Amino acid sequence: MRMPSPRSRRTLGLGLAALLAPSMIAACGSATAARTTSAEGARTTAAAVTPRDSAGTTGSPSPASPSASIPGQRTAPPSTAAKSPSSAPATGSPTAAPSSAPASPSATPSPTGDGRSHQIVRWTAHGGRSVALTFDDGPGPATRPILDLLREYHAHATFCLVGNEVERDPAAVRRIVAEGHRLCDHTVDHPQPLHSRPHDRQVHEIADAKQSILRAAGPGAEVPWFRAPGGDFTAENEQIAADHGMTSLGWSVDPRDWAKPGAPAIVANVQQHLRPGGVVLMHDGGGDRSQTIEALKQLLPWLQAQGYTFDFPAGG
């Protein structure tokens, strides 16, 4: 077989190259276009996804959010963050934290300028087997019968008088003093609750009642105690009383004679609850006190039979 000459081979190679060149160019162009299209698609996809995630359209925080990227940082729960300021607990309210209120003045006496103390007295002056009988809200119709019974049993008592009642019956006050009993300030007109009145009104109730009692009692009389209506003692009215030379007087036995439970119930209450050195609260004014009188007819001889002596409250 005859082989082609070198010139013929060159001519043949050039011809093949010319035939193959267009197809090769087309293939390269298709590959380039495919790569370009793929890259553009990836960029388009990234552009579509990134704004949705960073905007939090799914409701979850963005991974790039500072609150999510700082370890240990506390974030408020949605319910707390949305809570209205009005729902927060108030501070400084007078009713807040009642358990932190100061102890009773009787437990923590506080000296005053006149040497007396903020101390609610609930015991007798001399202690031992003694009792202090006290009568509130008079003078009234029951005052003289009670004075008669006390004289019969050689007993002494303390009368907590209301200023307006004193003005109506000053003679009863003079008899109380003449027969060796003691006087106590029970305000001008027995307002309840006393602590709800303005300061000036409380001063009037306490100071003016004392002056009314002293005028009725006559020269040399003293009013060493103050008793708040209903036992409504506060640091304010205790201070007012102390400023006017009076000790706040409470009680240790309340037979509730003011509620008229019957003479037997009054007697039983005192007999059950009285302890040596106690202060008994009863009433000679403020209404019908016939049950108190009947109860006293039984209590006075019983007290003597039990060995009690009659004393005045401490602080007088």
Rounded-to-integer distance, Cα 147 and Cα 130, Å: 19
pTM, rounded to two decimals? 0.65
Rounded-to-integer distance, Cα 283 and Cα 224, Å: 19
- Asked if residue 253 has pLDDT above 50, the reply is yes
- Asked if residue 221 has pLDDT above 60, the reply is yes
pLDDT in tens, 128-182: 999 999 999 999 999 999 999 999 999 999 999 999 999 999 999 999 999 999 9
Rounded-to-integer distance, Cα 154 and Cα 37, Å: 123
**Range from 29-38, 143-152, 300-309 carrying the lowest mean pLDDT:** 29-38
SS3 58: coil
254-263 contact pairs (CB < 8 A, 24+): 254/281, 255/280, 255/281, 255/282, 255/295, 257/282, 257/283, 257/289, 257/291, 257/292, 257/295, 258/137, 258/283, 258/286, 258/287, 260/288, 260/291, 261/291, 262/291, 263/291, 263/292, 263/294, 263/295, 263/298
pLDDT in tens, 255-293: 999 999 999 999 999 999 999 999 999 999 999 999 999
Which of 71 and 238 is assigned the larger pLDDT?
238
To the query of whether residue 137 is one of the catalytic residues in this protein, the response is no
Nearest partner of 296 among 135, 113, 81, judged by Cα:
135
Q: From the candidates 118, 181, 186, 283, which is the catalytic residue?
A: 283
- The answer for residues whose C-beta is within 8 angstroms of residue 175's C-beta and 6 or more apart is 144, 147
Run of H or E residues at 132: strand 130-138
pLDDT in tens, 91-104: 333 323 222 222 33
Instruction: DSSP letter for 141, please.
Output: T
> What number is the average pLDDT over the span 94-123?
45
Domains of the chain: 126-310 (3.20.20.370)
Tell me the pLDDT of the chain averaged across its residues: 75
∠ at Cα 314 (218, 279), nearest 5°? 100
Residue indicated by tokens 């409470």: 250
Q: From the candidates 118, 136, 186, 257, which is the catalytic residue?
A: 136
Rounded-to-integer distance, Cα 236 and Cα 233, Å: 8
To the query of whether residue 273 is one of the catalytic residues in this protein, the response is no
Contact (CB, 8 A) for 139 and 166: yes
> What number is the average pLDDT over the span 76-87?
32
Run of H or E residues at 16: helix 6-55
